[in-house]
A and B are shown apart, each in its own frame.
Chain A
Amino acid sequence: DGGITQSPKYLFRKEGQNVTLSCEQNLNHDAMYWYRQDPGQGLRLIYYSQIVNDFQKGDIAEGYSVSREKKESFPLTVTSAQKNPTAFYLCASRETGGFLYEQYFGPGTRLTVT
């Protein structure tokens, strides 16, 4: 069945290490997104991609990097330059070609950096 998968559900890393979060979708959506949620906060846009090999910075891109080599995949790397990496990370995808489409979200990855 179609959907968005994020793995793992929980991820632990030591400070100073880069870590890559996985996001895969089989919905054939062109657009994919990464958000970060902190406790009691809303979803803040990190990066988004409208098409393969293209992506744009969101509101809080510093300390993060992405790639979009395949339509199905949009991995997010949290680099050691990110000052407060511990958060709940959500990936989403969306059909394009018109703007009246909602996003579908994955289950999220909770990253803890100590």
Chain B
Amino acid sequence: DQQVKQNSPSLSVQEGRISILNCDYTNSMFDYFLWYKKYPAEGPTFLISISSIKDKNEDGRFTVFLNKSAKHLSLHIVPSQPGDSAVYFCAASGNNNDMRFGAGTRLTVKP
């Protein structure tokens, strides 16, 4: 049973516009949520995170929003740049130190 879901396998946006990547989770015990960026044949790199006590966290062009009641989080990238093209993974963790990942969304930013 997949506890973290990214229902959009791909997203294409124009350079300079906003990219919105979505993620849903089912386990109410998750209390820490992260976004990672990944290139082929490499390990993921951490982008931004949010704890369950917040509903928004911002870092430069990246903002993560958390809606606990809906068990939904999203990553906003604005403005999008061609270098942002990669696969983005949503991840969630509970207090037992496990970490579950979604299936990923491939973002393509067109010049």
Contacts and interface: CB of A to CB of B under 8 A. Distances in A.
Interface of A: 4, 31, 33, 35, 40-45, 48, 50, 56, 58-59, 88, 90, 92, 94, 96, 99-100, 102-108, 110
Contacts of A44: 101
Nearest to A106: B43
Given A88-B41, A100-B32, A105-B43, A45 B49 contact: no
Interface of B: 6, 9, 31-32, 34, 41-46, 49, 51, 89, 91, 93-104
15 contacts: A43-B44, A43-B101, A45-B101, A48-B98, A48-B99, A58-B98, A94-B99, A96-B97, A99-B93, A99-B95, A102-B34, A105-B45, A106-B43, A107-B42, A110-B41
Contacts of B44: 43, 90, 103, 105
A31 B99 CA distance: 11
Contact of A41 (B32, B41, B103): B103
State the main secondary structure of chain A at its contact with B.
Answer: strand
A40 B9 CA distance: 9
A22 to B, nearest CB: 14
Contacts of B102: 42
A106 to B, nearest CB: 5
A31 B96 CA distance: 10
Given A42-B101, A99-B97, A108 B42 contact: yes
